A and B are shown apart, each in its own frame.
Chain A
Amino acid sequence: MASALIVKNGYVFDPLNEINGEIKDVFIKDGKIVAGLSDAEMKDAKVVDATGKTVMPGGVDSHTHIAGSKVNSGRLMRPEDHYKYNKAKTDITHSGSGETTKTVYLEGYEYAQMGYTTAFEAAVPPMKARHTHEEMRSIPMLDMGGYLVLGNNWFMMRYLKEGDMEKAAAYIAWMMKAHKTYGIKCVNPAGVENWGWGENISSLDEANIHFEVTPREMIKGLCELNEELGIPMPMHLHANNLGHPGCYETTLESLAIPSKIKAKQDIGVDWAETKIDPSRDKSVYLTHMQFNAFAGTSWRDFESGVKPLADYINKNEHVVIDSGSVPFGEATCMTGDGPSIHDVAVLTGGKWSNCDVDLECGSGVCPFTYLKSNPVHSVQWAMGLECLLLIDNPWQAIMTTDSPNGGPFTKYPLIMTWLMSESFREQTFNECHKWANDRSELGGVDREMSLYDLAILTRANPAKTIGMVHRKGSLGVGADGDVTVYDIDPTKLDVNNHEDLIRKFGSVAYTIKDGEIAVKDGEVVSIPTQRTFYSDISVDDAAEKDMLADVKEWFKYYSIGFNHYPTPDKYLTNPTAVTVNTRHMYR
């Protein structure tokens, strides 16, 4: 890693530096992007010839499910997902299996083979953090982090109901440190708690059982606390009513809740050089928008509700979304939203699993196959693309499949090709149920995304959204030496050659991580070490002490002892703290 590397002569797409396809060299020294190399360094530098190829910063996935107990439940309950999808070991890689619920090694390799170097696990139940980190420790090559599930946490609900914002802030700060997690995830706020009694919540002003707190109060409180503490990313919201026809209206209302809250990211980092302001300006990050955008009143009159949501987002700058697109085929639904998974399982008549996590949250897992012949699935495919194509500003959108909920991340190349090629969308319309066209706006969309747009959706914006631009998402000086080289010549780009594009997005010419060539011509050639990012949030000692007294008092309801609750450093590979709430530190 100490050596230097030059990515020479490629067409560079680096949206955070407003570089759109210029032929440039990228220099990396000691794992970081540098402006240039000395003559002596040039002589010893490794050269990657990118002539006639597309160069982008390493891919960043800000929403995936690759580690933790629900992923493991998926693996355990889906032997059939592994039997027919497996890869043999090579001299440097482990064997692995699983199309949608991959073994840990395969997750790292397959992300790297697509040019991704960073992936964030989007739901870490606090009590399962240790398990999550144990898995992340074994996922090779990727830099990672996790979002802590807090939307149905007993302490959160209690403090927000009581209006005790000081203790609530201290609780979040302590929890992030204790569980080595990075941001706040809020899943079906107040509703999952009701699921413990076989109930759910259907409107934002319905109070839940015992805590008598409403989804609106939880969303507002968590968004405010998020900004008060200056957490790197906006609150990551999985809205109520998800997966039910008509849920888009709840989503619209939910997005309006934090509209007056100003983003105040406050992190102590050395920013990489970028032309565009690297700090975040969004106060809510809506996750898997497709699943939150169902319209109609039943499966019979089901239709896409993406348009009204996209219209709102186009007029309101405080929102950023990830799409949760559906590429058809096998998927495994897994979420902290237990009641929504139960509804899926009733619908499919198949197997499912459910989990209640003590005082914190719950989860469910259910295998799912998206069929082109199925009317609802076909609309969902169209909706997943609408989420990205109807939102005008790509800086408000992020491409995901909510892997593996909409489909495994290995199908990103398909989504990228659909976004770039109207003729590919047309082809799929002809192959799938006519509802896709009749009940969405996608058929009337002629927008074809450029490589620059895709670089925003898959690198620059995910990095900016989650506050990682100090290291990820750009090729600015000081950023991590993570580079993707696609074997695509932008001057000869033919978006009608779908197969070719899919292949080239799926199997990159080079993935470079920390200045080390990890993948060459789609093959893993070295295994750079991973690291785990977490937020180290500073708060008053006194507030922390009062809050901890409450936590210890209620710990009698936990199934584990208090001393076993936090995750020690040794569970992480290269634990990398991001200092948060510097205003407090220097006060």
Chain B
Amino acid sequence: MAEVILTLNKEIDLKVEADVITPDEFAGKGNAEIKQLLVWQGPTQFPLSDFFDVEGDGGNSAEDTSIVINGDTSRVKLIGAKMTAGKITVKGSTGMHVGSEMAGGEIVVEGDADSWPGMEMTGGVLHIKGNAGDHVGSAYRGSWHGMKGGRLMVDGNARSQIGGGMEGGEIIIGGSIENFCGLHQTGGLIVVKGDAIRAVGAEMSGGTIVVGGHILKFTPGMQADGEESNLEFGDVACDGTFKKFVGDYAIAKKPKGILYAGKETNPDL
């Protein structure tokens, strides 16, 4: 696998939109061509090499290309957007829209990610080892068609509107979240190991949400449907006993959304 190493070479003021940093764009390009790929900063385009030192050449295909990014890219947006294959490893933290609309391949972010990671993704694996912002795997503003496929993992915490409009795929959050997780969800699986604040599964009509920790304010349109233990969804296992709910009856007459909340952690339910 050919490896391209990008190292941030300056402090970025106005955020940079670097949707060209994908194995698909780098494939078939030599070092000099990669340096000349254009990124937006405000209303102006600049070559990638204005912001990154570039080592190595792209592989023959996207599958054959691996990108390693050094430095704090938290002011660089859209890394890995729309990628279909290959691998990106972000050694530090990264900005908004990492892996947005990705269809395949793998992205690993060793630090934190800002909002919109894996927005409307349809395939591949996006793994954020730190924390993430809002709208993880969500639909873009104004749309109800969110993540459709692939797997999105956040080892730390994430904020609000995780999996908004989610239709398929899996989101697994190791830590805690805030509001409106699985808003308007119609399919797919969201697992949150930690706590949630409120409105989990609001307007959901399909799909599954599991919250291992405590839900502070429960969604009113959910109806209790017994208990289940040691849940398994393919290779995703959720140990322990859960209270099962179906909903959201506030939005549909016969909703098929399922919400599991940890039994021990939610004595008030």
Contacts and interface: CB of A to CB of B under 8 A. Distances in A.
Most buried by A among B139, B143, B144: B143
A77 B142 contact: yes
A78 B141 CA distance: 8
A80 B143 CA distance: 6
Interface residues on chain A, size class: 10 to 19
B184 to A, nearest CB: 10
Contacts of A80: 139-143
B142 A350 contact: no
B141 A350 contact: no
Interface string A55-88: 0000000000000000000000111110110000
Interface string B171-210: 0000000000000000000000000000000000000000
Contacts of B143: 80
Contacts of A81: 142
A83 B141 CA distance: 9
Contacts of B142: 77-81, 83, 351
Contacts of A78: 142
Contacts of B141: 79-80, 83
A79 B140 contact: yes
A80 B165 CA distance: 13
Contacts of B140: 79-80, 83-84
A78 B144 CA distance: 11
A83 B142 CA distance: 10
A78 B139 CA distance: 13
A121 to B, nearest CB: 24
Contacts of B139: 80
Interface in A321-357: 350-351
Nearest to B40: A88
Most buried by B among A83, A350, A351: A83
Interface residues of B, number: 7
Contacts of A89: 43
Contacts of A350: 144
Nearest to B205: A349
Contacts of A83: 140-142
A350 B143 CA distance: 9
Interface string B35-71: 0000000010000000000000000000000000000
Interface in B5-25: none
Nearest to B139: A80
A247 to B, nearest CB: 28
Nearest to A81: B142
Nearest to A77: B142
Contacts of A351: 142
A84 B101 CA distance: 11
Nearest to B145: A80
B141 to A, nearest CB: 4
Interface in B128-145: 139-144
Contacts of B144: 350
A84 B43 CA distance: 17
A89 B140 CA distance: 24
A74 to B, nearest CB: 11
Nearest to B252: A349
A81 B142 CA distance: 8
Interface string B216-234: 0000000000000000000
A78 B43 CA distance: 23
Contacts of A84: 140
A350 B43 CA distance: 34
Contacts of A79: 140-142
A78 B142 CA distance: 6
Nearest to A367: B142
A350 B141 CA distance: 14
Nearest to B119: A83
Nearest to A89: B43
A200 B103 CA distance: 47
A357 B43 CA distance: 38
Interface string B143-167: 1100000000000000000000000
B45 to A, nearest CB: 9
Contacts of B43: 89
A84 B143 CA distance: 12
B134 to A, nearest CB: 15
B137 to A, nearest CB: 16
A77 B139 CA distance: 15
B52 to A, nearest CB: 22
A81 B143 CA distance: 9
A79 B119 CA distance: 15
Contacts of A77: 142
A311 B83 CA distance: 53
A101 B144 CA distance: 18
Interface in A89-120: 89
A113 B217 CA distance: 54
A79 B43 CA distance: 20
B253 to A, nearest CB: 12
A89 B45 CA distance: 12
B160 to A, nearest CB: 17
A351 B139 CA distance: 15
B229 to A, nearest CB: 35
B128 to A, nearest CB: 22
A346 to B, nearest CB: 13
Closest 5 CB pairs of A and B: A80-B143, A80-B142, A79-B142, A79-B141, A80-B140
Given A80-B142, A80-B143, 12 more contacts: A78-B142, A79-B140, A79-B141, A79-B142, A80-B139, A80-B140, A80-B141, A83-B141, A83-B142, A84-B140, A89-B43, A350-B144
18 contacts: A77-B142, A78-B142, A79-B140, A79-B141, A79-B142, A80-B139, A80-B140, A80-B141, A80-B142, A80-B143, A81-B142, A83-B140, A83-B141, A83-B142, A84-B140, A89-B43, A350-B144, A351-B142
